[in-house]
C-alpha cells in the first residue's frame, strides 16, 4: 500500500545555492508550467469526457542534439528551447496521451493527442487509491467477514494492489471496459503503526476504478490475525529502556565551508558538474554529468541522462491471495510521489543541502515534495590512493589522499519498503549507484506458531507467531544514457581466457618453465543481441566497457568507462512462460544495451500496470538494432533474492547493492596524482600506545 500524498515545500540547507535566472532545458516542469498544462488539457476539445484524472505529467525533454548544442554554446548565445509536457490522463474510461507546449505559459497549447488502445494502464493516483479504500467498510460481505474474525470494521484498512496480467488478449483491458484492481486489508489502530504485520488473510476485493465500485469479492480462508505486541518500530513504543547498541554522536566539520555550489538545479563540486531533475515516476534524474580533466584542461561528457526506470518485485507464493503480488513500483505507483521528506541528521548528514521535487496530482495541480533530495559531501575515512615505500634506504615515504565524495540521495517509501537511492560522484571520475533496502516485509498471516508445525512449503520464513515473511525478489533497473566523451560509443566485452604456454613465441607463449597464464579476449558488440549479458554466467566477461572509438589516449587506447557490479547481481528465476516474467523478461539478464531512443525510458513500458510485456525493454531489443559506434544506452538491473530472517522483523535493517561506472583509459593517468595533500590540521583524536 502506498502512503497518502503530502503537500510539501522547498527547504534549503547550508551550502552555496542560487536561483538561476534562466531555466535549464532539462529542468522539471515548474508550478507555473504544471498549472498551464492543466489549463490546456481541461480546455482541449480533444478530451471531452469528464472527470479528467492526471496520471503522469512530466517534461517532454527537447531533442538530445538541441540540448547538447545548448550546453556547448556560450551562456550569452544559448538558444531558448521549447518547453513541453507529456501527459497521460484518464477520462471516459480511456487513456489519453497529450503533448502540451508551455513555452508561453500564458497561452499553453496542445501540440498532439492520441488515445492508448493497447494493453496496460497508467499508474494509480493517490486520490483514486484513497477513494477505493473507502469502499470496503460499506460493502456488506466485507463487513460480515470482518465481524466473523472478531474485528471491528473501523479498525480495518485496505490498500490497492495491481492485478498484474495472467493471460488474455493484448489490449483486452481497453475493450473490456473496466480498469480493475484488487484490494487487501490490514488491522490498523493505536496498538501498532506496523499494520503490514497484521494482515486480514484470505479476503480479496476486486474494484473497478473507473466506476469506483466493488465488482468482486472472495473470503477463502481464515487465519488468526497476528498480535500487535512486538511489531511497532517507533521509539516511543520500543523504549525506554533502550537496550540496543549505543554509539557516540558525531558531527561533520568543514572548517572552510561546503564545496558544493548549486545554481538552479545544476550542481558543481570538485571536478564534477551535473543537473538534478525530478519525475513523478522515476524520482531523481541525473543529467549532463561531465568531469573536468585537469591534464587536458577541459570538461568531458560522461552521462547524458540517468534514472531508476523500474523496480520489479515478484513474490513467491502461488496461492490465491498472493499470486498476483508482482509489483512494478515505478509503473504501478510512481517513485517520485513516494519520495517523502528526508529527515535531517538521520537520512542525510548535517552538511546536506536539500532540493525539492514537484509533480502534478490527479487534479493536475502542482504539489511540492519537501526535502525530496539531499546533496552532501561524504567524509567516510576512505582512501583515494596511497603508497608507503620502505625500500629507499634511510627513508619511509608515505603518500595518501583521502577520498571525499559527493552524494545525491533520495529515499522512496514504496508502501512497506523503503529504497534509498544514492548517486555518488568520486573525484577519480567514477559514478557509483547504491540501492539500500529497508522498511517492512510483506507478511502473510498463518496458523503456524512454530517451525515444527510446518509440513509443506510455507513460501517464506516464520518470523513470529502466525506471521510468515514471504520470499520475493527486488529487481531495480537503471536507464543510463552514457555519452563517453561524445555520443558515438561502442559496447566492449572483455573476457578472461585461460591459456596454455606452448613455449612458442609465435603463438604468444614463451620458452620458460611457466605452463599457463590468462589473457583477454575482446569482443565489440554489433547489435542489441550482443549487448545482453548475464554477469553470473560461467565464463562471462570480466570487464564490460563503453568506449568512444573516435577518441584515443596518447598511447592509442580508446577512452571509456567500465561497468563494475558490487553485489546484488541476482537475476530472475521465474519460468519464461510465467506471466510476471513475460511482463519483465528483461530481469533474466543484468545488462542490456540499446540504441538511444527518446521514447524508450521505462523498462516495463509506458503503461506498466497490467501490461503484457509487448512494450518493454526486451520487446524493443528484439529488433536487434545496431549498437556499434552509435548513441547507446545501458540498462543495468540490480537484483536481490530476499529470503526473510527474523532479524528483518518487525523492521528490516538496511541491505545494499551497488554498481560503479569507472573511467577506463578515459584519463591519461591517475587524475588525482596532482591532488593537493591534506593539511595537517590538529583535529582532536585519541591514540593508544603500547
The residues assigned a catalytic role are 329, 417
What residues contact residue 205 under an 8 Å CB cut-off, 6+ apart?
135, 136, 139, 142, 158, 182, 183, 184, 214, 216, 217
Closest CA to 529 of 478, 450, 485, 589: 589
Residue 171, number of CB atoms within 10 A of its CB: 15
| Inter-residue contact 658 to 433 (CB < 8 Å) | yes
Note if the bond before 650 is cis, omega within 30 degrees.
yes
Tell me which DSSP letter residue 588 carries: G
Whole-number Å distance between alpha carbons of 339 and 349: 18
Helix (H, G, I), strand (E, B) or coil at 478: strand
Whole-number Å distance between alpha carbons of 344 and 353: 10
- Rounded-to-10 torsion of CA 43, 48, 52, 56: -80
Number of H helices, E strands in the chain: 8, 31
Q: What SS3 string covers 616-670?
A: CHHHHHCCCCECCCECEEEEEEEEEEECCCHHHCCCEEEEEEEEEEEEECCCCCC
What residues contact residue 59 under an 8 Å CB cut-off, 6+ apart?
26, 27, 28, 29, 84, 85, 86, 277, 279
Note if the bond before 61 is cis, omega within 30 degrees.
no
Please report which helix (H) or strand (E) contains residue 565, including its range: strand 558-566
The burial class, CB within 10 Å (0-12 / 13-18 / 19+), for 455 is exposed
What residues contact residue 95 under an 8 Å CB cut-off, 6+ apart?
55, 88, 89, 115, 116, 121, 122, 174, 607
Amino acid at each position: 500500500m502506498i502512503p497518502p500524498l503530502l503537500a510539501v515545500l522547498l527547504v534549503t540547507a547550508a551550502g552555496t545555492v542560487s536561483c538561476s535566472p534562466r531555466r535549464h532545458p532539462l529542468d522539471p516542469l515548474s508550478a507555473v508550467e504544471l498549472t498551464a498544462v492543466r489549463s490546456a488539457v481541461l480546455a482541449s476539445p480533444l478530451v471531452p469526457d469528464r472527470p479528467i484524472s492526471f496520471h503522469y505529467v512530466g517534461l517532454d525533454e527537447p531533442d538530445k542534439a538541441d540540448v547538447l548544442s545548448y550546453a556547448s554554446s556560450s551562456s550569452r548565445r544559448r538558444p531558448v528551447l521549447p518547453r513541453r509536457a507529456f501527459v497521460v490522463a484518464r477520462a471516459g474510461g480511456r487513456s489519453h496521451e497529450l503533448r502540451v507546449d508551455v513555452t508561453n505559459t500564458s497561452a499553453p497549447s496542445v501540440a498532439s493527442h492520441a488515445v492508448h488502445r493497447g494493453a496496460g494502464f497508467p499508474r494509480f493516483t493517490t486520490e483514486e487509491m484513497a477513494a477505493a479504500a473507502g469502499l470496503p467498510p460499506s460493502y456488506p460481505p466485507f463487513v460480515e467477514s470482518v465481524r466473523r474474525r472478531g474485528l471491528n470494521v473501523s479498525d480495518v484498512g485496505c490498500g490497492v494492489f495491481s492485478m498484474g496480467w495472467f493471460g488474455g488478449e493484448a489490449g483486452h483491458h481497453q475493450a473490456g471496459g473496466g480498469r480493475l484492481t484488487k484490494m487487501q486489508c490490514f488491522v490498523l489502530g493505536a496498538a501498532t503503526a506496523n499494520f503490514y504485520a497484521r494482515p486480514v488473510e484470505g479476503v480479496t476485493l476486486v474494484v473497478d476504478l473507473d466506476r469506483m465500485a466493488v465488482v468482486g469479492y472472495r473470503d477463502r480462508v481464515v487465519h488468526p490475525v497476528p498480535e500487535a505486541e512486538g511489531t511497532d518500530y517507533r521509539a516511543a513504543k520500543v523504549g525506554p529502556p533502550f537496550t540496543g547498541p549505543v554509539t557516540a554522536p558525531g558531527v561533520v566539520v568543514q572548517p572552510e565551508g561546503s564545496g558544493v555550489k548549486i545554481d538552479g538545479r545544476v550542481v558543481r563540486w570538485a571536478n564534477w558538474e551535473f543537473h538534478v531533475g525530478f519525475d513523478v515516476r522515476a524520482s531523481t534524474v541525473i543529467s549532463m554529468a561531465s568531469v573536468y580533466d585537469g591534464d587536458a584542461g577541459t570538461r568531458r561528457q560522461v552521462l547524458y541522462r540517468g534514472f531508476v526506470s523500474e523496480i520489479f518485485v515478484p513474490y513467491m507464493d502461488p496461492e490465491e491471495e498472493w499470486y498476483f503480488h508482482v509489483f512494478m513500483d515505478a509503473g504501478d505507483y510512481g517513485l517520485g510521489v513516494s519520495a517523502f521528506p528526508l529527515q535531517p541528521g538521520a537520512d542525510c548528514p548535517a552538511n546536506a543541502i536539500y532540493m525539492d521535487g514537484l509533480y502534478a496530482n490527479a487534479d493536475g495541480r502542482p504539489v511540492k515534495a519537501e526535502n525530496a533530495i539531499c546533496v552532501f559531501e561524504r567524509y567516510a575515512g576512505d582512501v583515494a590512493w596511497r603508497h608507503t615505500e620502505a625500500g629507499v634506504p634511510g627513508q619511509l615515504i608515505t603518500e595518501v589522499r583521502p577520498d571525499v565524495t559527493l552524494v545525491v540521495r533520495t529515499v522512496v517509501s514504496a508502501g512497506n519498503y523503503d529504497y534509498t537511492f544514492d548517486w555518488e560522484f568520486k573525484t577519480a571520475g567514477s559514478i557509483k549507484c547504491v540501492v539500500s533496502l529497508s522498511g517492512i516485509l510483506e507478511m502473510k498471516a498463518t496458523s503456524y506458531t512454530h517451525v515444527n508445525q510446518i509440513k509443506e512449503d510455507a513460501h517464506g520464513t516464520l518470523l513470529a507467531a502466525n506471521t510468515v515473511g514471504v520470499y520475493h525478489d527486488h529487481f531495480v533497473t537503471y536507464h543510463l544514457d552514457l555519452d563517453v566523451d561524445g555520443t558515438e560509443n561502442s559496447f566492449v566485452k572483455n573476457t578472461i581466457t585461460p591459456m596454455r604456454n606452448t613455449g612458442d613465441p609465435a603463438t604468444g607463449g614463451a620458452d620458460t618453465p611457466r605452463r599457463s597464464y590468462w589473457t583477454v579476449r575482446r569482443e565489440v558488440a554489433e547489435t542489441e543481441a550482443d549487448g545482453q549479458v548475464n554477469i553470473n554466467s560461467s565464463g562471462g566477461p570480466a570487464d564490460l566497457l563503453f568506449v568512444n572509438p573516435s577518441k584515443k589516449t596518447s598511447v592509442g587506447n580508446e577512452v571509456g568507462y567500465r561497468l563494475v557490479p558490487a553485489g546484488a547481481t541476482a537475476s530472475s528465476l521465474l519460468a519464461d512462460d510465467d506471466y510476471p516474467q513475460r511482463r519483465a523478461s528483461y530481469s533474466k539478464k543484468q545488462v542490456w544495451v540499446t540504441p538511444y531512443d527518446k521514447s524508450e525510458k521505462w523498462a516495463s513500458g509506458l503503461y506498466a500496470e497490467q501490461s503484457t510485456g509487448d512494450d518493454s525493454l526486451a520487446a524493443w531489443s528484439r529488433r536487434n538494432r545496431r549498437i556499434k559506434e552509435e548513441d547507446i544506452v545501458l540498462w543495468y538491473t540490480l537484483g536481490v533474492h530476499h529470503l526473510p530472517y527474523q532479524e528483518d522483523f518487525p523492521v528490516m535493517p538496511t541491505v545494499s547493492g551497488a554498481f560503479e561506472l569507472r573511467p577506463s583509459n578515459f584519463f591519461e593517468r591517475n587524475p588525482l596524482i596532482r591532488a593537493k595533500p591534506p593539511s595537517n590540521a590538529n583535529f582532536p583524536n585519541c591514540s593508544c600506545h603500547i
